[in-house]
A and B are shown apart, each in its own frame.
Chain A
Amino acid sequence: MLSSRALHWILVAAGVTLPACGLVTGSTERVVHPRFENGGMLASATALNRESSRLLEGLWDSTEGGTLLGSSLVVHSSPDYLSIFGNRDATYAVLEAGCLEDGQLVLEGYYRTAVDTSTGLVRLFVEPAEAAQSICSGPTPNAPFQMVGAFGTDNDTPDQKLTLERQRLLPAAPATMVIAHRGGCRSSDDCGASENSLEVLRMAQRLGADRVEVDVQVTSDGVPVLYHDASFGPLLTTGSYCKGAVSDFTWAHVTQLCSLLYGEPVPRLDDALRTVVEETELVGIWLDVKTPTGMGAALPLVRKWNQIAADRGRNLRIVIGLSTDELISAWLGLTQTDVECLVELGVDDLRRTGCRVWAPRWTLGPMASAVAEVTSEGRAVAFWTLDEKQFIDLFIKEAKPTGLLTNRPGLVLQRSYWATIQAEGDVPP
Chain B
Amino acid sequence: MSRIVFAFVACGVLGYAAIATAKPPRRALEVSVQTGYGLVLGNNGDRSHELESRNGGASVAVGFAYRSPYLFVPWAETGWTALQWNRELPKAREFAGQAPSTSRLTTTYLLFGPSVEEGIFRFRAGMGFYHQQVTSSFAGHTITPSTWDMGYSLSYGVRAHDGPRYGWGLETYALLMSESQLAYLGIALRVWGNAWVDLR
Main secondary structure of the interface of B (DSSP, over half): strand
B136 partner, pick from A26, A235, A253, beta carbons under 8 A: A253
Most chain A CB atoms below 10 A, which of B132, B134, B152, B154 = B134
- With an 8 Å Cβ cutoff, the count of chain A residues facing the other chain is 41
A239 partner, pick from B45, B152, B174, beta carbons under 8 A: B45
The 0/1 profile, CB within 8 Å of A marked 1, for residues 169-200 of chain B is 00000101011111100000000000000000
A313 lies within 8 A of chain B by Cβ: no
A249 partner, pick from B91, B123, B145, B179, beta carbons under 8 A: B145
The 0/1 profile, CB within 8 Å of A marked 1, for residues 30-72 of chain B is 0000000000001111100000000000000000000000010
The 0/1 profile, CB within 8 Å of A marked 1, for residues 77-90 of chain B is 00000001010101
| CB under 8 Å from chain A, chain B span 84-107 | 84, 86, 88, 90-92, 94-95, 98, 101, 103-105
The 0/1 profile, CB within 8 Å of B marked 1, for residues 1-22 of chain A is 0001101100110110011001
**Is the CB–CB distance between B45 and A15 below 8 Å?**
no
**Is the CB–CB distance between B90 and A256 below 8 Å?**
yes
Closest residue on chain B to residue A235 by CB atoms:
B179
A134 lies within 8 A of chain B by Cβ: no
| CB under 8 Å from chain B, chain A span 234-277 | 234-235, 238-245, 248-250, 252-253, 255-257, 259, 263, 265
What's the least CB distance linking B43 to chain A, in Å? 5
- Tell me the number of A-to-B contacts counted with CB atoms below 8 Å: 133
User: Size band of the B side of the interface?
Assistant: 35 or more
**Is the CB–CB distance between B145 and A256 below 8 Å?**
no
28 contacts between A and B (CB under 8 A): A8-B123, A11-B116, A11-B125, A18-B176, A22-B151, A23-B42, A23-B183, A26-B178, A26-B179, A233-B179, A233-B180, A240-B86, A240-B103, A240-B182, A243-B147, A243-B180, A248-B145, A250-B141, A252-B95, A252-B141, A253-B141, A255-B90, A255-B92, A256-B91, A256-B138, A256-B139, A257-B45, A263-B46
Closest residue on chain A to residue B71 by CB atoms:
A4
A27 lies within 8 A of chain B by Cβ: yes
The 0/1 profile, CB within 8 Å of B marked 1, for residues 310-322 of chain A is 0000000000000
B156 lies within 8 A of chain A by Cβ: yes
- Write out the residue numbers on chain A whose beta carbons fall within 8 Å of the beta carbon of B147: 231, 233, 243-244
User: With contacts A8-B123, A233-B147, A240-B44 known, is A22 near B176, CB below 8 A?
Assistant: yes
Most chain B CB atoms below 10 A, which of A22, A232, A249, A259 = A22
| CB under 8 Å from chain A, chain B span 109-127 | 116, 118, 123, 125
Most chain A CB atoms below 10 A, which of B94, B136, B152 = B136
**Is the CB–CB distance between A18 and B154 below 8 Å?**
yes
Closest residue on chain B to residue A22 by CB atoms:
B176
Closest residue on chain B to residue A265 by CB atoms:
B92
Query: In the bound complex, how far is the Cα of B45 from the Cα of A239, in angstroms?
Result: 4
| CB under 8 Å from chain B, chain A span 156-184 | none
A137 lies within 8 A of chain B by Cβ: no
B5 lies within 8 A of chain A by Cβ: no
- Write out the residue numbers on chain A whose beta carbons fall within 8 Å of the beta carbon of B181: 23, 26-27, 234
- Write out the residue numbers on chain A whose beta carbons fall within 8 Å of the beta carbon of B136: 241, 253, 256-257
Query: In the bound complex, how far is the Cα of B178 from the Cα of A138, in angstroms?
Result: 57
**Is the CB–CB distance between B152 and A252 below 8 Å?**
no
**Is the CB–CB distance between A253 and B138 below 8 Å?**
yes
Query: In the bound complex, how far is the Cα of B86 from the Cα of A25, in angstroms?
Result: 27
**Is the CB–CB distance between B141 and A15 below 8 Å?**
no
Query: In the bound complex, how far is the Cα of B132 from the Cα of A238, in angstroms?
Result: 15
User: With contacts A19-B183, A238-B46, A243-B146 known, is A256 near B116, CB below 8 A?
Assistant: no
A117 lies within 8 A of chain B by Cβ: no
- Write out the residue numbers on chain A whose beta carbons fall within 8 Å of the beta carbon of B94: 255
What's the least CB distance linking A28 to chain B, in Å? 8
What's the least CB distance linking A99 to chain B, in Å? 38
B1 lies within 8 A of chain A by Cβ: no
Query: In the bound complex, how far is the Cα of B179 from the Cα of A252, in angstroms?
Result: 25
